[in-house]
């Protein structure tokens, strides 16, 4: 990973934002900038002198790990808390203005920061400074994301094999997660969704103790974390023979998903990608049942920028990695969703998820 390049990009962003330094409290942002994967730490990036300076604060539990992992930043270990040590350093700071991550600093910590630096530093709330850098993946990241997507997709046959009438959704999730670990995953990107029968009408039906019924859709939505990067995919299968109406639902969602994928290219607004699929679903009479947005960026976190939702004007750029995942959810009937991960390329897009979208009946 080219941490130096990322750090330099951040420094030039700080000049644009108009702050001498940025206090980074969001762990995925810290990981992106210096490689630390632990769960406690604060990164201070100052850009006021010609040479940018990064200092990473953590506590004694992570001294060995920080020494092994952190790149391009001085590591400071503190017995108490990383945040307290960073505050001490800020009291001695030579710069005048400090940005903080307003969406990743709790009000209580903001008050502590504000009291500690009163009369000394001008505090400026910032939003998405590091996230905007992370939105455009570099070559190393794209390689890792592709590996995660293939690992995730490779587990789909295991899930299919585990699906039997009467087996609990939880057991299918368990089998997926077990095989994910065997495939080298550090964990799952989010709580695995296995939503069978009427539960498939829940857009967020995480696996439960409900047994697989003899007839109905099953939505499988899961992802793996491999070398720090997330995958995310959804397929919907049917237990028993799908009725004509259910096939119509499935075909509509497949067409909508393909239409949104087709709309992915540099320069397109995120909202247009959403619109492409949504229009088809409306025409097919399912508009009111598509109750969420079309997709989101994926990387170190499973939900990143950009958001692909109605009215979003952010333009797609090469290097973005997004999901395309329209769904139909009919209460007391069932639901379908298909989700791929898609890379925005110079000339258009590349679908990363290789799993078939033909309706599988088990």
Give me the residues that bind a copy of itself (CB under 8 A), please: 38-39, 60-62, 64-65, 100, 102-108, 110-111, 125, 127, 170-171, 173-175, 177-178, 180-182, 184-187, 191, 201-204, 206, 209, 291-292, 331
The 8 Å CB, 24+ separation contacts for 350-356 are 351/261, 352/145, 352/146, 352/149, 352/321, 353/149, 353/152, 353/153, 353/233, 354/150, 354/153, 355/153, 355/156, 355/233, 355/235
Can you give the C-alpha Rg of the chain in angstroms?
23
Q: How far is the CB of 79 from a copy of itself (least distance, A)?
A: 8
Q: How far is the CB of 103 from a copy of itself (least distance, A)?
A: 5
Report DSSP state, residue 265. Answer: -
Distance CA 50, CA 300 (A): 30
For a copy of itself, the closer of residues 34 and 113 by Cβ is 113
8 A C-beta contact, residue 104 and residue 36: no
Residues contacting residue 285 through CB under 8 Å, at least 6 positions apart: none
Q: How far is the CB of 321 from a copy of itself (least distance, A)?
A: 22
For a copy of itself, the closer of residues 309 and 351 by Cβ is 309
8 A C-beta contact, residue 324 and residue 339: yes
Pairing verdict, β 97-101 and 21-24: parallel
For a copy of itself, the closer of residues 230 and 352 by Cβ is 230
For a copy of itself, the closer of residues 56 and 62 by Cβ is 62
For a copy of itself, the closer of residues 111 and 361 by Cβ is 111
Q: How far is the CB of 234 from a copy of itself (least distance, A)?
A: 14
Q: How far is the CB of 259 from a copy of itself (least distance, A)?
A: 22
For a copy of itself, the closer of residues 201 and 219 by Cβ is 201
Pairing verdict, β 53-59 and 42-46: antiparallel
Pairing verdict, β 233-239 and 216-222: antiparallel
Q: How far is the CB of 142 from a copy of itself (least distance, A)?
A: 22
């Amino acid at each position: 990973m080219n941490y130096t390049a990322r750090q330099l990009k951040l420094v030039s962003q700080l000049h644009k934002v108009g702050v001498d330094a940025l206090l980074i409290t969001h762990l995925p942002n810290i990981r992106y900038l210096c490689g630390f994967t632990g769960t406690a730490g604060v990164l201070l990036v100052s850009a006021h002198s010609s040479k940018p300076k990064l200092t990473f604060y953590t506590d004694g539990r992570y001294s060995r790990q920080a020494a092994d992992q952190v790149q391009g930043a001085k590591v400071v270990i503190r017995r108490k808390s990383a945040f307290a040590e960073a505050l001490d350093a800020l009291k001695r700071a030579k710069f005048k203005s400090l940005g903080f991550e307003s969406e990743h600093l709790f009000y209580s910590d903001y008050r502590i920061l504000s009291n500690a630096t009163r009369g000394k530093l001008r505090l400026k709330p910032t939003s998405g400074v590091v996230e905007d850098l992370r939105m455009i993946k570099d070559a190393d990241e794209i390689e890792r994301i592709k590996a995660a997507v293939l690992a995730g997709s490779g587990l789909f046959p295991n899930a299919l094999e585990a699906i039997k009438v009467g087996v609990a959704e939880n057991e299918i999730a368990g089998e997926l997660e077990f095989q994910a670990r065997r495939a080298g995953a550090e964990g799952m990107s989010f709580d695995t969704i296995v939503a069978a029968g009427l539960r498939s009408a829940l857009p967020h039906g995480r696996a439960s103790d409900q047994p697989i019924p003899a007839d109905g859709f099953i939505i499988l939505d899961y992802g793996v974390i491999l070398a720090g990067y997330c995958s995310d995919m959804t397929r919907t299968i049917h237990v028993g023979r799908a009725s004509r109406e259910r096939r119509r639902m499935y075909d509509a969602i497949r067409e909508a998903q393909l239409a949104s994928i087709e709309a992915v290219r540099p320069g397109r607004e995120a909202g247009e990608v959403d619109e492409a699929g949504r229009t088809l679903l409306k025409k097919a009479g399912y508009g009111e049942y598509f109750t969420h947005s079309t997709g989101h960026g994926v990387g170190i976190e499973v939900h990143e920028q950009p958001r692909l939702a109605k009215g979003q004007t952010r333009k797609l750029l090469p290097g973005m990695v997004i999901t395309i995942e329209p769904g139909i959810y009919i209460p007391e009937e069932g639901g379908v969703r298909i989700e791929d991960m898609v890379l925005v390329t110079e000339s258009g897009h590349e679908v990363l998820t290789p799993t078939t979208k033909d309706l599988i009946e088990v």
